[in-house]
A and B are shown apart, each in its own frame.
Chain A
Amino acid sequence: MSTFIDLTGAAAQSATYGADEQQRMGFFTDTTLCIGCKACEVACKEWNELPEDGYEFTGWSYDNTRELNGNTWRHVTFVEQFSGRSAGTGRWLMESDVCKHCTHAGCLDVCPTGAIMRSEFGTVVIQQDVCNGCGYCIVGCPFGVIGLKEAEGTTGKCTLCYDRLKAGEEPACAKACPTDSIQFGAVDELRERAEKRLEAVQGRFDGAQLYGTDTGDGVGGTGSMFLLLDKPEVYGLPPDPIVPTKDLPQMWRAAGVGAALLVAACVAAAVRA
Protein backbone atom coordinates (compact mmCIF):
# COMPACT_ATOMS: atom_id res chain seq x y z
CA MET A 1 0.00 0.00 0.00
CA SER A 2 2.73 2.41 0.92
CA THR A 3 4.46 1.92 -2.42
CA PHE A 4 1.48 3.44 -4.17
CA ILE A 5 1.45 6.47 -1.94
CA ASP A 6 5.20 7.03 -1.90
CA LEU A 7 5.58 6.88 -5.67
CA THR A 8 4.57 10.48 -6.10
CA GLY A 9 4.35 11.65 -2.49
CA ALA A 10 6.76 13.90 -0.65
CA ALA A 11 9.23 11.05 -0.26
CA ALA A 12 9.96 11.25 -3.98
CA GLN A 13 11.00 14.86 -3.66
CA SER A 14 14.69 14.48 -2.85
CA ALA A 15 15.10 11.68 -5.36
CA THR A 16 13.87 14.05 -8.07
CA TYR A 17 15.76 17.22 -7.24
CA GLY A 18 18.98 16.03 -5.66
CA ALA A 19 21.15 18.99 -4.78
CA ASP A 20 18.53 21.48 -6.01
CA GLU A 21 16.07 20.41 -3.34
CA GLN A 22 14.96 23.24 -1.08
CA GLN A 23 13.38 23.31 2.33
CA ARG A 24 9.68 22.44 2.20
CA MET A 25 7.78 25.74 2.27
CA GLY A 26 4.20 26.46 3.26
CA PHE A 27 1.70 28.72 5.00
CA PHE A 28 0.44 29.08 8.52
CA THR A 29 -2.86 30.95 8.43
CA ASP A 30 -3.74 32.21 11.91
CA THR A 31 -7.44 33.03 11.78
CA THR A 32 -7.38 34.81 15.14
CA LEU A 33 -5.55 37.62 13.35
CA CYS A 34 -7.68 37.77 10.19
CA ILE A 35 -9.66 40.99 9.74
CA GLY A 36 -11.44 39.84 6.57
CA CYS A 37 -9.89 42.54 4.36
CA LYS A 38 -9.44 40.19 1.36
CA ALA A 39 -6.10 41.80 0.54
CA CYS A 40 -4.78 38.25 -0.03
CA GLU A 41 -7.51 37.48 -2.55
CA VAL A 42 -6.74 40.64 -4.49
CA ALA A 43 -2.96 40.28 -4.30
CA CYS A 44 -3.26 36.69 -5.54
CA LYS A 45 -5.50 37.64 -8.46
CA GLU A 46 -3.23 40.52 -9.36
CA TRP A 47 0.07 38.67 -9.19
CA ASN A 48 -1.17 35.51 -10.89
CA GLU A 49 -3.20 37.43 -13.50
CA LEU A 50 -6.42 35.64 -12.67
CA PRO A 51 -9.79 36.81 -14.07
CA GLU A 52 -12.75 37.83 -11.88
CA ASP A 53 -15.51 35.31 -11.13
CA GLY A 54 -18.50 37.57 -11.72
CA TYR A 55 -20.04 40.39 -9.72
CA GLU A 56 -22.76 38.73 -7.71
CA PHE A 57 -24.04 39.11 -4.20
CA THR A 58 -24.37 35.82 -2.39
CA GLY A 59 -25.87 36.93 0.90
CA TRP A 60 -23.17 34.85 2.60
CA SER A 61 -22.09 37.59 5.03
CA TYR A 62 -19.23 39.45 3.30
CA ASP A 63 -18.29 36.45 1.18
CA ASN A 64 -19.12 37.02 -2.48
CA THR A 65 -16.28 34.80 -3.64
CA ARG A 66 -17.89 31.53 -2.52
CA GLU A 67 -15.10 29.02 -3.08
CA LEU A 68 -11.60 28.22 -4.21
CA ASN A 69 -11.56 27.27 -7.89
CA GLY A 70 -9.51 27.51 -11.06
CA ASN A 71 -9.33 31.28 -10.96
CA THR A 72 -9.59 31.92 -7.21
CA TRP A 73 -6.63 30.66 -5.24
CA ARG A 74 -7.23 32.51 -1.96
CA HIS A 75 -10.74 32.71 -0.55
CA VAL A 76 -11.72 34.52 2.64
CA THR A 77 -14.60 32.84 4.44
CA PHE A 78 -16.93 34.79 6.74
CA VAL A 79 -19.02 33.19 9.44
CA GLU A 80 -21.22 35.31 11.72
CA GLN A 81 -21.95 33.49 14.97
CA PHE A 82 -24.60 35.63 16.63
CA SER A 83 -27.63 34.47 18.51
CA GLY A 84 -29.32 37.88 18.60
CA ARG A 85 -29.12 41.40 17.27
CA SER A 86 -27.62 43.05 20.34
CA ALA A 87 -23.92 43.71 20.54
CA GLY A 88 -21.58 41.39 22.41
CA THR A 89 -23.64 38.27 21.82
CA GLY A 90 -21.43 36.57 19.31
CA ARG A 91 -18.39 36.69 17.13
CA TRP A 92 -17.09 36.86 13.60
CA LEU A 93 -14.98 34.09 12.13
CA MET A 94 -12.80 34.92 9.14
CA GLU A 95 -10.37 32.57 7.48
CA SER A 96 -8.32 32.86 4.31
CA ASP A 97 -8.49 29.46 2.63
CA VAL A 98 -5.94 28.13 0.13
CA CYS A 99 -4.62 24.90 -1.42
CA LYS A 100 -3.23 22.71 1.37
CA HIS A 101 -0.11 21.56 -0.53
CA CYS A 102 -0.67 18.10 0.94
CA THR A 103 2.15 15.75 1.87
CA HIS A 104 0.20 13.06 0.01
CA ALA A 105 -1.74 15.02 -2.58
CA GLY A 106 -4.75 13.38 -4.19
CA CYS A 107 -4.63 15.78 -7.14
CA LEU A 108 -1.02 14.89 -7.89
CA ASP A 109 -1.56 11.15 -7.52
CA VAL A 110 -4.49 10.94 -9.94
CA CYS A 111 -3.35 13.42 -12.62
CA PRO A 112 -2.99 11.28 -15.78
CA THR A 113 -0.65 13.58 -17.70
CA GLY A 114 1.91 14.30 -15.01
CA ALA A 115 0.94 17.97 -15.27
CA ILE A 116 0.78 18.18 -11.48
CA MET A 117 4.22 18.01 -9.96
CA ARG A 118 5.97 18.33 -6.63
CA SER A 119 8.27 21.34 -6.83
CA GLU A 120 11.71 21.60 -5.26
CA PHE A 121 10.01 23.53 -2.43
CA GLY A 122 7.78 20.52 -1.65
CA THR A 123 4.76 22.36 -3.02
CA VAL A 124 2.18 21.02 -5.50
CA VAL A 125 2.06 22.83 -8.84
CA ILE A 126 -0.07 22.36 -12.00
CA GLN A 127 2.04 22.86 -15.13
CA GLN A 128 -0.32 24.76 -17.40
CA ASP A 129 1.45 23.73 -20.60
CA VAL A 130 0.95 20.02 -19.86
CA CYS A 131 -2.57 19.92 -18.36
CA ASN A 132 -5.20 18.67 -20.82
CA GLY A 133 -8.19 19.69 -18.74
CA CYS A 134 -9.41 16.18 -17.98
CA GLY A 135 -10.72 17.42 -14.64
CA TYR A 136 -9.66 14.34 -12.69
CA CYS A 137 -7.74 16.43 -10.13
CA ILE A 138 -10.94 18.31 -9.28
CA VAL A 139 -12.39 15.12 -7.78
CA GLY A 140 -9.00 13.78 -6.67
CA CYS A 141 -8.56 16.61 -4.16
CA PRO A 142 -10.12 15.84 -0.75
CA PHE A 143 -10.35 19.59 0.00
CA GLY A 144 -12.36 20.73 -3.05
CA VAL A 145 -9.63 23.21 -3.99
CA ILE A 146 -9.24 22.83 -7.76
CA GLY A 147 -11.51 24.14 -10.49
CA LEU A 148 -11.61 24.55 -14.24
CA LYS A 149 -10.14 27.63 -15.92
CA GLU A 150 -12.81 28.05 -18.59
CA ALA A 151 -10.82 30.34 -20.87
CA GLU A 152 -7.75 28.11 -20.93
CA GLY A 153 -9.47 24.71 -20.80
CA THR A 154 -7.09 23.67 -18.02
CA THR A 155 -7.43 23.51 -14.24
CA GLY A 156 -5.95 25.87 -11.70
CA LYS A 157 -5.06 26.30 -8.05
CA CYS A 158 -2.52 27.99 -5.78
CA THR A 159 1.12 27.43 -6.81
CA LEU A 160 2.45 28.96 -3.58
CA CYS A 161 3.69 31.60 -6.03
CA TYR A 162 6.23 29.23 -7.54
CA ASP A 163 7.72 32.05 -9.65
CA ARG A 164 8.18 34.31 -6.63
CA LEU A 165 9.70 31.50 -4.55
CA LYS A 166 12.27 30.83 -7.24
CA ALA A 167 13.18 34.53 -7.10
CA GLY A 168 13.54 34.37 -3.31
CA GLU A 169 10.30 36.28 -2.68
CA GLU A 170 7.41 35.29 -0.44
CA PRO A 171 3.98 34.55 -1.96
CA ALA A 172 1.89 37.59 -2.86
CA CYS A 173 -0.88 36.84 -0.32
CA ALA A 174 1.50 36.58 2.63
CA LYS A 175 3.23 39.77 1.50
CA ALA A 176 -0.07 41.65 1.30
CA CYS A 177 -1.61 40.43 4.57
CA PRO A 178 -1.62 43.48 6.88
CA THR A 179 -2.02 41.53 10.15
CA ASP A 180 0.33 38.61 9.49
CA SER A 181 -2.63 36.25 9.63
CA ILE A 182 -1.01 34.59 6.60
CA GLN A 183 2.54 33.58 7.47
CA PHE A 184 4.93 32.05 4.98
CA GLY A 185 7.91 29.90 5.89
CA ALA A 186 9.48 26.47 6.22
CA VAL A 187 6.80 23.91 7.05
CA ASP A 188 8.61 22.42 10.06
CA GLU A 189 9.15 25.85 11.57
CA LEU A 190 5.57 26.92 10.89
CA ARG A 191 4.25 23.77 12.53
CA GLU A 192 6.14 24.60 15.72
CA ARG A 193 4.98 28.19 15.54
CA ALA A 194 1.38 27.01 15.13
CA GLU A 195 1.63 24.80 18.21
CA LYS A 196 3.06 27.65 20.31
CA ARG A 197 0.35 30.00 19.06
CA LEU A 198 -2.36 27.49 19.96
CA GLU A 199 -0.98 27.30 23.52
CA ALA A 200 -0.94 31.07 23.74
CA VAL A 201 -4.55 31.59 22.62
CA GLN A 202 -6.11 28.62 24.39
CA GLY A 203 -8.55 29.98 26.93
CA ARG A 204 -8.80 33.31 25.16
CA PHE A 205 -10.69 31.95 22.15
CA ASP A 206 -13.40 29.31 22.29
CA GLY A 207 -12.84 26.33 20.05
CA ALA A 208 -9.23 27.15 19.08
CA GLN A 209 -7.74 24.21 17.19
CA LEU A 210 -5.04 23.47 14.63
CA TYR A 211 -5.83 22.12 11.17
CA GLY A 212 -3.35 20.32 8.94
CA THR A 213 -0.51 20.09 11.47
CA ASP A 214 -0.99 16.37 12.24
CA THR A 215 1.49 14.55 9.98
CA GLY A 216 -0.26 11.27 10.73
CA ASP A 217 -3.65 12.29 9.33
CA GLY A 218 -5.29 11.04 6.14
CA VAL A 219 -3.11 13.18 3.86
CA GLY A 220 0.10 12.97 5.91
CA GLY A 221 -0.31 16.55 7.11
CA THR A 222 -0.44 19.63 4.93
CA GLY A 223 1.95 22.36 3.83
CA SER A 224 -0.75 24.97 4.49
CA MET A 225 -1.75 24.87 8.15
CA PHE A 226 -4.43 26.79 10.00
CA LEU A 227 -5.39 27.92 13.47
CA LEU A 228 -9.19 27.75 13.50
CA LEU A 229 -11.72 28.86 16.09
CA ASP A 230 -14.37 26.27 15.39
CA LYS A 231 -14.75 22.85 13.78
CA PRO A 232 -13.26 22.69 10.26
CA GLU A 233 -16.65 22.11 8.63
CA VAL A 234 -17.87 25.48 9.94
CA TYR A 235 -15.33 27.05 7.57
CA GLY A 236 -16.24 24.65 4.77
CA LEU A 237 -13.17 22.48 5.38
CA PRO A 238 -13.40 18.67 5.47
CA PRO A 239 -13.04 17.43 9.07
CA ASP A 240 -11.32 14.14 8.14
CA PRO A 241 -9.71 14.36 4.69
CA ILE A 242 -8.20 11.20 3.20
CA VAL A 243 -6.09 11.01 0.05
CA PRO A 244 -8.18 8.74 -2.21
CA THR A 245 -5.13 6.76 -3.39
CA LYS A 246 -4.83 5.42 0.16
CA ASP A 247 -7.11 2.57 -0.89
CA LEU A 248 -6.02 2.24 -4.52
CA PRO A 249 -4.58 -1.30 -4.22
CA GLN A 250 -7.89 -2.43 -2.73
CA MET A 251 -9.70 -0.83 -5.68
CA TRP A 252 -7.58 -2.64 -8.26
CA ARG A 253 -8.15 -5.90 -6.43
CA ALA A 254 -11.88 -5.18 -6.61
CA ALA A 255 -11.54 -4.59 -10.36
CA GLY A 256 -9.73 -7.94 -10.63
CA VAL A 257 -12.66 -9.63 -8.91
CA GLY A 258 -15.10 -7.91 -11.27
CA ALA A 259 -13.09 -8.95 -14.33
CA ALA A 260 -12.87 -12.55 -13.10
CA LEU A 261 -16.63 -12.66 -12.53
CA LEU A 262 -17.17 -11.32 -16.04
CA VAL A 263 -14.98 -14.03 -17.58
CA ALA A 264 -16.69 -16.69 -15.46
CA ALA A 265 -20.11 -15.47 -16.61
CA CYS A 266 -18.95 -15.56 -20.23
CA VAL A 267 -17.64 -19.12 -19.92
CA ALA A 268 -20.81 -20.25 -18.18
CA ALA A 269 -22.93 -18.58 -20.88
CA ALA A 270 -20.96 -20.10 -23.74
CA VAL A 271 -20.98 -23.68 -22.48
CA ARG A 272 -23.76 -25.54 -24.23
CA ALA A 273 -26.38 -26.67 -21.76
Chain B
Amino acid sequence: MSTSAGSIEADRYGYYGRSPVKPPDWSDKIPTYIFTGGFAGASSLLAFPARLRGNDALARPLLYGAAAGAMVSTYCLIMDLGRPERFMNMLRVFKPTSPMNMGVYIFSVYSSAAMLAAAADATGVARPVGRACEGVAALVGPAMATYTGVLIADTAVPTWNEGRVTIPSLFAATSAAAAGAWGMLFAPPQRADAARRFAVFGAVGALIASKRLHAEVGPILKESFKAKEAVKLGRSATVLAFSGTACALLAKKSRFFGVVAGALLFTGALAEKFSVYRAGYISAKDPKYAVTLQRQRIDARGGEPTRLREPSHDGRPAGSVSA
Protein backbone atom coordinates (compact mmCIF):
# COMPACT_ATOMS: atom_id res chain seq x y z
CA MET B 1 0.00 0.00 0.00
CA SER B 2 2.01 2.90 -1.26
CA THR B 3 -0.76 5.45 -1.40
CA SER B 4 -0.95 7.46 1.78
CA ALA B 5 -4.21 8.39 3.41
CA GLY B 6 -4.42 11.88 1.98
CA SER B 7 -3.68 11.21 -1.66
CA ILE B 8 -6.06 12.21 -4.40
CA GLU B 9 -6.46 8.55 -5.29
CA ALA B 10 -7.89 7.82 -1.87
CA ASP B 11 -10.12 10.86 -2.09
CA ARG B 12 -11.55 10.71 -5.54
CA TYR B 13 -14.45 12.86 -4.44
CA GLY B 14 -12.71 15.48 -2.37
CA TYR B 15 -11.47 15.65 1.15
CA TYR B 16 -11.33 12.37 3.13
CA GLY B 17 -14.87 11.54 2.10
CA ARG B 18 -16.26 14.77 3.53
CA SER B 19 -18.74 16.66 1.38
CA PRO B 20 -18.20 20.32 0.44
CA VAL B 21 -21.81 21.04 1.44
CA LYS B 22 -23.54 20.20 4.71
CA PRO B 23 -26.66 18.05 5.03
CA PRO B 24 -29.49 19.50 7.11
CA ASP B 25 -29.13 19.26 10.87
CA TRP B 26 -32.87 18.69 11.26
CA SER B 27 -34.61 15.83 13.04
CA ASP B 28 -37.44 13.83 11.47
CA LYS B 29 -39.80 16.50 12.79
CA ILE B 30 -39.07 18.52 9.66
CA PRO B 31 -40.08 15.91 7.04
CA THR B 32 -43.01 15.10 9.32
CA TYR B 33 -43.95 18.77 9.25
CA ILE B 34 -43.69 18.82 5.46
CA PHE B 35 -46.12 15.89 5.33
CA THR B 36 -48.64 16.95 7.96
CA GLY B 37 -48.70 20.55 6.75
CA GLY B 38 -49.33 19.47 3.16
CA PHE B 39 -51.95 16.94 4.22
CA ALA B 40 -53.74 19.61 6.26
CA GLY B 41 -53.66 22.17 3.44
CA ALA B 42 -55.10 19.75 0.88
CA SER B 43 -57.75 18.59 3.37
CA SER B 44 -59.00 22.14 3.89
CA LEU B 45 -59.14 22.56 0.13
CA LEU B 46 -61.18 19.38 -0.37
CA ALA B 47 -63.48 20.20 2.54
CA PHE B 48 -64.60 23.40 0.85
CA PRO B 49 -66.62 21.98 -2.11
CA ALA B 50 -67.95 19.25 0.17
CA ARG B 51 -69.32 21.93 2.47
CA LEU B 52 -70.80 23.89 -0.43
CA ARG B 53 -72.72 20.80 -1.44
CA GLY B 54 -73.87 20.14 2.08
CA ASN B 55 -71.86 16.94 2.25
CA ASP B 56 -70.98 17.33 5.93
CA ALA B 57 -70.23 13.62 6.29
CA LEU B 58 -67.10 14.30 4.23
CA ALA B 59 -66.43 17.92 5.12
CA ARG B 60 -66.29 17.41 8.88
CA PRO B 61 -63.67 14.66 9.08
CA LEU B 62 -61.58 16.72 6.67
CA LEU B 63 -61.94 19.81 8.86
CA TYR B 64 -60.81 17.86 11.92
CA GLY B 65 -58.03 16.13 9.99
CA ALA B 66 -56.78 19.53 8.83
CA ALA B 67 -56.82 20.90 12.38
CA ALA B 68 -54.96 17.84 13.66
CA GLY B 69 -52.42 18.21 10.87
CA ALA B 70 -51.96 21.87 11.71
CA MET B 71 -51.43 21.04 15.36
CA VAL B 72 -48.82 18.35 14.67
CA SER B 73 -47.14 20.78 12.25
CA THR B 74 -47.03 23.54 14.84
CA TYR B 75 -45.46 21.19 17.36
CA CYS B 76 -42.85 19.87 14.92
CA LEU B 77 -41.96 23.29 13.54
CA ILE B 78 -41.43 24.93 16.91
CA MET B 79 -39.82 22.02 18.72
CA ASP B 80 -37.20 21.47 16.04
CA LEU B 81 -35.78 24.96 16.56
CA GLY B 82 -32.59 25.16 18.59
CA ARG B 83 -34.32 27.95 20.56
CA PRO B 84 -38.09 27.23 20.46
CA GLU B 85 -38.84 30.28 22.60
CA ARG B 86 -37.55 32.42 19.74
CA PHE B 87 -40.11 31.11 17.23
CA MET B 88 -41.65 34.57 17.01
CA ASN B 89 -38.35 36.01 15.76
CA MET B 90 -39.42 34.74 12.35
CA LEU B 91 -42.30 37.21 12.39
CA ARG B 92 -40.10 40.23 13.13
CA VAL B 93 -39.11 40.55 9.47
CA PHE B 94 -40.79 40.15 6.11
CA LYS B 95 -38.16 38.61 3.90
CA PRO B 96 -39.03 37.43 0.38
CA THR B 97 -35.58 35.87 -0.14
CA SER B 98 -36.28 33.38 2.66
CA PRO B 99 -38.85 30.70 1.83
CA MET B 100 -38.91 29.76 5.51
CA ASN B 101 -39.86 33.31 6.44
CA MET B 102 -42.57 33.44 3.77
CA GLY B 103 -43.66 29.98 4.87
CA VAL B 104 -44.13 31.02 8.48
CA TYR B 105 -46.63 33.65 7.36
CA ILE B 106 -48.45 31.13 5.18
CA PHE B 107 -48.35 28.63 8.02
CA SER B 108 -49.54 31.08 10.70
CA VAL B 109 -52.55 32.25 8.70
CA TYR B 110 -53.38 28.73 7.61
CA SER B 111 -53.11 26.95 10.93
CA SER B 112 -55.04 29.61 12.85
CA ALA B 113 -57.83 29.39 10.29
CA ALA B 114 -57.86 25.57 10.22
CA MET B 115 -57.92 25.24 14.01
CA LEU B 116 -60.58 27.91 14.47
CA ALA B 117 -62.72 26.33 11.76
CA ALA B 118 -62.62 22.95 13.50
CA ALA B 119 -63.24 24.48 16.91
CA ALA B 120 -66.27 26.41 15.67
CA ASP B 121 -67.67 23.31 14.01
CA ALA B 122 -67.16 21.14 17.08
CA THR B 123 -68.61 23.57 19.59
CA GLY B 124 -71.25 25.22 17.46
CA VAL B 125 -70.02 28.58 18.71
CA ALA B 126 -69.53 31.44 16.22
CA ARG B 127 -70.61 29.41 13.18
CA PRO B 128 -70.23 32.24 10.63
CA VAL B 129 -66.69 32.93 11.82
CA GLY B 130 -65.97 29.22 11.53
CA ARG B 131 -67.27 29.15 7.98
CA ALA B 132 -65.16 32.15 7.07
CA CYS B 133 -62.14 30.38 8.53
CA GLU B 134 -62.94 27.32 6.42
CA GLY B 135 -62.79 29.58 3.39
CA VAL B 136 -59.45 31.10 4.42
CA ALA B 137 -57.98 27.65 5.11
CA ALA B 138 -59.14 26.40 1.71
CA LEU B 139 -57.62 29.43 0.03
CA VAL B 140 -54.24 29.14 1.76
CA GLY B 141 -54.25 25.31 1.70
CA PRO B 142 -52.62 24.97 -1.74
CA ALA B 143 -49.79 27.28 -0.62
CA MET B 144 -49.31 25.12 2.49
CA ALA B 145 -49.02 22.03 0.30
CA THR B 146 -46.40 23.50 -2.03
CA TYR B 147 -44.24 26.10 -0.27
CA THR B 148 -42.26 23.41 1.54
CA GLY B 149 -41.02 22.33 -1.90
CA VAL B 150 -39.54 25.81 -2.38
CA LEU B 151 -38.15 25.68 1.15
CA ILE B 152 -36.05 22.59 0.52
CA ALA B 153 -35.20 23.48 -3.09
CA ASP B 154 -33.70 26.85 -2.05
CA THR B 155 -30.67 25.16 -0.50
CA ALA B 156 -27.26 23.88 -1.52
CA VAL B 157 -28.53 20.30 -1.07
CA PRO B 158 -27.88 18.90 -4.56
CA THR B 159 -30.93 16.67 -5.12
CA TRP B 160 -33.39 19.24 -3.73
CA ASN B 161 -31.86 22.18 -5.59
CA GLU B 162 -31.70 20.35 -8.92
CA GLY B 163 -35.24 19.03 -8.45
CA ARG B 164 -36.65 22.51 -7.87
CA VAL B 165 -39.11 22.52 -10.77
CA THR B 166 -40.81 19.23 -9.90
CA ILE B 167 -40.64 18.99 -6.10
CA PRO B 168 -43.49 21.48 -5.39
CA SER B 169 -45.82 19.58 -7.74
CA LEU B 170 -44.80 16.27 -6.21
CA PHE B 171 -45.60 17.70 -2.78
CA ALA B 172 -48.98 18.94 -4.05
CA ALA B 173 -49.75 15.45 -5.38
CA THR B 174 -48.78 13.61 -2.18
CA SER B 175 -50.84 16.13 -0.18
CA ALA B 176 -53.87 15.40 -2.35
CA ALA B 177 -53.36 11.66 -1.94
CA ALA B 178 -53.15 11.98 1.84
CA ALA B 179 -56.20 14.26 2.11
CA GLY B 180 -58.31 12.07 -0.17
CA ALA B 181 -57.18 8.99 1.76
CA TRP B 182 -58.27 10.63 5.01
CA GLY B 183 -61.71 11.25 3.55
CA MET B 184 -62.00 7.60 2.51
CA LEU B 185 -61.01 6.48 5.99
CA PHE B 186 -63.59 8.55 7.83
CA ALA B 187 -66.53 9.20 5.50
CA PRO B 188 -69.07 6.59 4.39
CA PRO B 189 -68.36 5.36 0.85
CA GLN B 190 -71.48 6.86 -0.70
CA ARG B 191 -70.43 10.32 0.52
CA ALA B 192 -66.73 9.93 -0.26
CA ASP B 193 -66.77 10.11 -4.08
CA ALA B 194 -64.81 13.37 -4.21
CA ALA B 195 -62.27 12.11 -1.67
CA ARG B 196 -61.75 8.92 -3.64
CA ARG B 197 -61.15 10.79 -6.88
CA PHE B 198 -58.89 13.33 -5.18
CA ALA B 199 -56.84 10.53 -3.63
CA VAL B 200 -56.46 8.73 -6.95
CA PHE B 201 -55.50 11.93 -8.78
CA GLY B 202 -52.94 12.58 -6.07
CA ALA B 203 -51.49 9.07 -6.07
CA VAL B 204 -51.23 8.92 -9.86
CA GLY B 205 -49.88 12.47 -9.96
CA ALA B 206 -47.23 11.57 -7.40
CA LEU B 207 -46.15 8.54 -9.45
CA ILE B 208 -45.76 10.74 -12.53
CA ALA B 209 -44.06 13.56 -10.63
CA SER B 210 -41.60 11.27 -8.92
CA LYS B 211 -40.59 9.79 -12.28
CA ARG B 212 -40.17 13.29 -13.64
CA LEU B 213 -38.12 14.31 -10.60
CA HIS B 214 -35.68 11.48 -11.17
CA ALA B 215 -35.24 12.68 -14.74
CA GLU B 216 -34.93 16.33 -13.72
CA VAL B 217 -32.08 15.80 -11.27
CA GLY B 218 -30.02 13.90 -13.83
CA PRO B 219 -28.28 10.53 -13.82
CA ILE B 220 -25.85 11.25 -10.96
CA LEU B 221 -28.30 12.65 -8.44
CA LYS B 222 -30.84 10.01 -9.39
CA GLU B 223 -28.55 7.62 -7.56
CA SER B 224 -29.31 9.44 -4.29
CA PHE B 225 -32.83 7.98 -4.46
CA LYS B 226 -31.28 4.52 -4.75
CA ALA B 227 -29.01 4.82 -1.73
CA LYS B 228 -29.69 2.45 1.14
CA GLU B 229 -31.50 4.96 3.38
CA ALA B 230 -33.88 6.16 0.64
CA VAL B 231 -34.54 3.23 -1.65
CA LYS B 232 -36.93 1.32 0.62
CA LEU B 233 -39.03 4.41 1.17
CA GLY B 234 -39.20 5.15 -2.54
CA ARG B 235 -40.16 1.57 -3.41
CA SER B 236 -42.74 1.40 -0.63
CA ALA B 237 -44.24 4.66 -1.85
CA THR B 238 -44.67 3.24 -5.36
CA VAL B 239 -46.13 -0.07 -4.19
CA LEU B 240 -48.50 1.68 -1.78
CA ALA B 241 -49.65 4.15 -4.43
CA PHE B 242 -50.41 1.39 -6.94
CA SER B 243 -52.15 -0.93 -4.49
CA GLY B 244 -53.99 1.94 -2.85
CA THR B 245 -55.27 3.14 -6.23
CA ALA B 246 -56.45 -0.37 -7.09
CA CYS B 247 -58.35 -0.65 -3.80
CA ALA B 248 -59.80 2.83 -4.25
CA LEU B 249 -61.33 1.74 -7.54
CA LEU B 250 -63.14 -1.06 -5.64
CA ALA B 251 -64.21 1.23 -2.83
CA LYS B 252 -67.19 2.90 -4.48
CA LYS B 253 -69.61 0.78 -2.52
CA SER B 254 -67.40 -0.98 -0.03
CA ARG B 255 -66.37 0.61 3.25
CA PHE B 256 -63.82 -2.14 3.71
CA PHE B 257 -61.94 -1.34 0.51
CA GLY B 258 -62.30 2.36 1.27
CA VAL B 259 -60.55 1.99 4.59
CA VAL B 260 -57.83 -0.24 3.13
CA ALA B 261 -57.28 2.15 0.22
CA GLY B 262 -57.21 5.12 2.58
CA ALA B 263 -54.60 3.51 4.80
CA LEU B 264 -52.44 2.48 1.84
CA LEU B 265 -52.57 5.86 0.11
CA PHE B 266 -52.00 7.84 3.30
CA THR B 267 -48.92 5.78 4.17
CA GLY B 268 -47.73 5.91 0.57
CA ALA B 269 -47.83 9.71 0.54
CA LEU B 270 -45.86 9.79 3.77
CA ALA B 271 -43.25 7.40 2.37
CA GLU B 272 -42.89 9.44 -0.83
CA LYS B 273 -42.14 12.64 1.07
CA PHE B 274 -39.65 10.92 3.36
CA SER B 275 -37.90 9.38 0.35
CA VAL B 276 -37.38 12.83 -1.20
CA TYR B 277 -36.12 14.09 2.15
CA ARG B 278 -33.69 11.20 2.63
CA ALA B 279 -32.41 11.37 -0.96
CA GLY B 280 -31.59 15.03 -0.41
CA TYR B 281 -29.81 14.30 2.84
CA ILE B 282 -27.68 11.65 1.15
CA SER B 283 -26.88 13.93 -1.79
CA ALA B 284 -25.43 16.50 0.62
CA LYS B 285 -23.68 14.01 2.92
CA ASP B 286 -21.86 11.97 0.27
CA PRO B 287 -19.26 14.13 -1.52
CA LYS B 288 -19.75 12.14 -4.72
CA TYR B 289 -22.89 14.11 -5.58
CA ALA B 290 -21.90 17.75 -5.09
CA VAL B 291 -18.37 17.27 -6.41
CA THR B 292 -19.30 15.31 -9.53
CA LEU B 293 -22.22 17.58 -10.34
CA GLN B 294 -20.19 20.78 -10.02
CA ARG B 295 -17.10 19.40 -11.73
CA GLN B 296 -19.18 18.25 -14.72
CA ARG B 297 -20.85 21.64 -14.83
CA ILE B 298 -17.48 23.40 -14.99
CA ASP B 299 -16.03 21.00 -17.51
CA ALA B 300 -19.07 21.41 -19.75
CA ARG B 301 -18.39 25.16 -19.74
CA GLY B 302 -14.71 24.78 -20.59
CA GLY B 303 -13.50 25.59 -17.09
CA GLU B 304 -15.79 28.56 -16.51
CA PRO B 305 -17.89 28.77 -13.35
CA THR B 306 -21.66 29.18 -13.42
CA ARG B 307 -22.57 32.83 -13.80
CA LEU B 308 -24.97 34.44 -11.37
CA ARG B 309 -26.85 36.45 -13.95
CA GLU B 310 -27.38 33.83 -16.56
CA PRO B 311 -30.78 32.23 -16.94
CA SER B 312 -31.19 28.88 -15.27
CA HIS B 313 -32.29 25.74 -17.03
CA ASP B 314 -35.99 25.68 -17.75
CA GLY B 315 -36.43 22.48 -15.83
CA ARG B 316 -37.12 20.38 -18.87
CA PRO B 317 -34.47 17.70 -18.84
CA ALA B 318 -33.72 15.89 -22.06
CA GLY B 319 -35.82 12.78 -22.50
CA SER B 320 -37.95 13.39 -19.44
CA VAL B 321 -41.45 12.09 -19.14
CA SER B 322 -44.04 14.79 -19.68
CA ALA B 323 -46.11 15.73 -16.70
Contacts and interface: CB of A to CB of B under 8 A. Distances in A.
A5 B97 CA distance: 8
Given A133-B83, A217-B305, A245 B145 contact: no
Interface string B33-57: 0000000001001101110010000
B312 A250 contact: yes
B98 A109 contact: yes
Contacts of A257: 168-169
Contacts of A269: 46, 180, 194-195, 197-198, 201
A177 interface: no
Given A7-B97, A233-B14, A251-B168, A133 B82 contact: yes
Contacts of A1: 309, 311
B3 interface: yes
Contact of B100 (A2, A134, A146, A147): A134
Contacts of B171: 258
A233 B13 contact: yes
A245 B15 CA distance: 26
B92 A114 contact: yes
A270 to B, nearest CB: 4
Contacts of B92: 113-114, 130
B194 A238 contact: no
Interface stretch (B22-30, B109-117, B235-243): B22-30
Interface of B: 2-8, 11, 13-16, 18-26, 42, 45-46, 48-50, 53, 80-84, 86-87, 89-90, 92-93, 95-101, 103-104, 141-143, 145-147, 149-150, 153-157, 161, 164-173, 175-176, 180, 193-195, 197-198, 201-202, 205, 284, 287, 290-291, 294-295, 297-298, 305-309, 311-312, 315
A266 B176 contact: yes
Given A134-B81, A269-B197, A254 B165 contact: yes
A125 B114 CA distance: 38
A130 B93 CA distance: 11
Contact of B146 (A61, A82, A234, A255): A255
A201 to B, nearest CB: 19
Interface stretch (A47-55, A137-145, A168-176): A137-145
Interface stretch (A26-34, A73-81, A159-167, A183-191): A73-81
Interface residues of A, number: 98
A265 B202 contact: yes
Contacts, number: 314
A110 to B, nearest CB: 5
Residue among B90, B157, B297 with most chain A CB within 10 A: B90
Interface of A is mostly: mixed
A45 interface: no
A37 interface: no
A247 B96 CA distance: 13
B187 to A, nearest CB: 13
B97 A248 contact: yes
For B4, B98, B194, the residue with the greatest tally of chain A CB atoms inside 10 Å of its CB is B98
Contacts of B149: 251, 254-255, 258
B218 to A, nearest CB: 15
B82 A262 contact: no
B20 A83 contact: no
A186 to B, nearest CB: 22
B27 to A, nearest CB: 10
A224 B221 CA distance: 30
Nearest to A93: B6
Contact of A254 (B3, B156, B164): B164
A263 B24 contact: no
B306 A139 contact: no
A214 interface: yes
Contacts of A259: 142-143, 145-146, 168, 172
Contacts of B22: 138-139, 141, 144, 146-147
A268 B294 CA distance: 42
